[in-house]
Amino acid sequence: MSAVYINSASCISVQDTLKENFVQDLTPEQSVQILKAVEPNYKEFIPPAMIRRMSKTVKMSSVASHHALKEAGIEKPDAIIVGTGMGCSQDSEKFLKNVIDNNEEFLTPTFFIQSTHNTVAGQIALGIQCHAYNFTYVNTSSSLEFSFLDAQLQINDGEAKNVLVGAADEQTNRTMELYCLNNTIKKEEDLPADYLHSETDGVIWGEGAGFFVLGKDKTEHSYAKLKNIQISNRVNPEELQMFLVDFLANNNLNNEDIDVVILGFSGDAKSDIYYTKAMDSFQNSALLYYKHLSGEFNTSSSFSTFMACHILKNQQIPDVMMINSERKNEIKNILLYNHLAGSDHSLMLLERA
């Protein structure tokens, strides 16, 4: 499959990533259980009457997609593809609460309609009056990667020239309570979290939205070339080295050709073993981590992809992301490796545009 170009990148996260020169103000978050996204003034982008009916995921995605399309200089893409792990869970909780409060009678369908996972892609399409291919992927932590793969196929098959691709997830009170109860989220006594050398289970949970425009042709704004993606639901720790080597070999590369590796260390001692093992394969590469800046959530790889795009374009690595002291004079190839709680492993290879 031929490579495609990432021609714009926009992100709303727990960092203020919408502003210019945001890299200078990246701040690690290690002492709270749940991180909230830094939200823009939605009134600048969305009519006030519509804002009241939108969930946080839809609002974040609408603004992030607006920025991505504007940066790419595109009014209407040839396709809209969105990935999400939890969808519009705020409206899902509201609907279920109504079911319980009203004894399953006299229910208004609004919250149910707005709670479906494809609401985000649909609302973006409605906002820009785009009647093209519209699809949503719900594949936990590899939702963005599946969306990228679909966009790559659409472009390679000649079905589209420019594709808006994004991923978003929000938090809801009840879900966060349940995550605390089942120890998905770290206990307060285990904070501050040590992301790289954790001895406790659980993560700090975040949220956010990242959107990109993928195109067939390179432009003056291009951030990176998306070379390849590989996804595996299960990888045994002893199979990890082969998982990495095979992926690189399929792209005619070896470990020495990778200038930067971005790993998804989450502070969960049980599942971070994969990243620790992966580090052994890239002794001569710059090793980075990012979830101390974004928190863990289903589509947190949108944040790492956004950061990788800026690293390739600016040829600079933020010190706050560094694990080791290795730095290359030129950054050409970046490998991103992510999973969620030891499942849905994804590898993404980006090359300097």
Residue range 221-280, pLDDT digits in tens = 899 999 999 999 999 999 999 999 999 999 999 999 999 999 999 999 999 999 999 999
What is the per-residue pLDDT for 48? 86
* Res. 110: pLDDT tops 90: no
What is the per-residue pLDDT for 47? 87
CA-nearest of 269, 252, 220, 256 to 71 is 220
CA-nearest of 239, 251, 313, 316 to 281 is 239
What is the per-residue pLDDT for 350? 98
Q: To which residue do tokens 């998982």 refer?
A: 243
- Which has more confidence, 132 or 103? 132
* Res. 68: pLDDT tops 80: yes
CATH 3.40.47.10 in the chain is located at: 4-215, 224-352
Residues 6 or more apart whose CB falls under 8 angstroms from that of 292 comprise 28, 29, 30, 193, 195, 265, 267
Mean pLDDT of 79-108: 84
Average pLDDT, the chain: 94
User: Is 224-352 assigned to CATH 3.40.47.10?
Assistant: yes
What is the per-residue pLDDT for 187? 96
What is the per-residue pLDDT for 91? 76
**162-192 CB burial, b ≥16 within 10 A, e <16:** bbbbbbbbbbbeebeeebbeeebbbeeebbe
pLDDT > 90: percent of the chain = 84
What is the per-residue pLDDT for 155? 97
User: Among the listed ranges 86-100, 123-137, 186-200, 278-292, which one has the minimum average pLDDT value?
Assistant: 86-100
> Residue 131 is which amino acid?
H
Residue 251: other Cβ atoms inside 10 A: 18
What H or E segment, with its residue span, contains residue 103? Answer: none
- Which has more confidence, 193 or 117? 193
What is the per-residue pLDDT for 57? 93
CA-nearest of 105, 194, 200, 165 to 299 is 165
242 vs 239, 245, 287, CA distance in Å?
Answer: 6, 5, 19
CA-nearest of 213, 166, 210 to 4 is 213
CATH architecture of 4-215: 3-Layer(aba) Sandwich (3.40)
Mean pLDDT of 321-325: 96
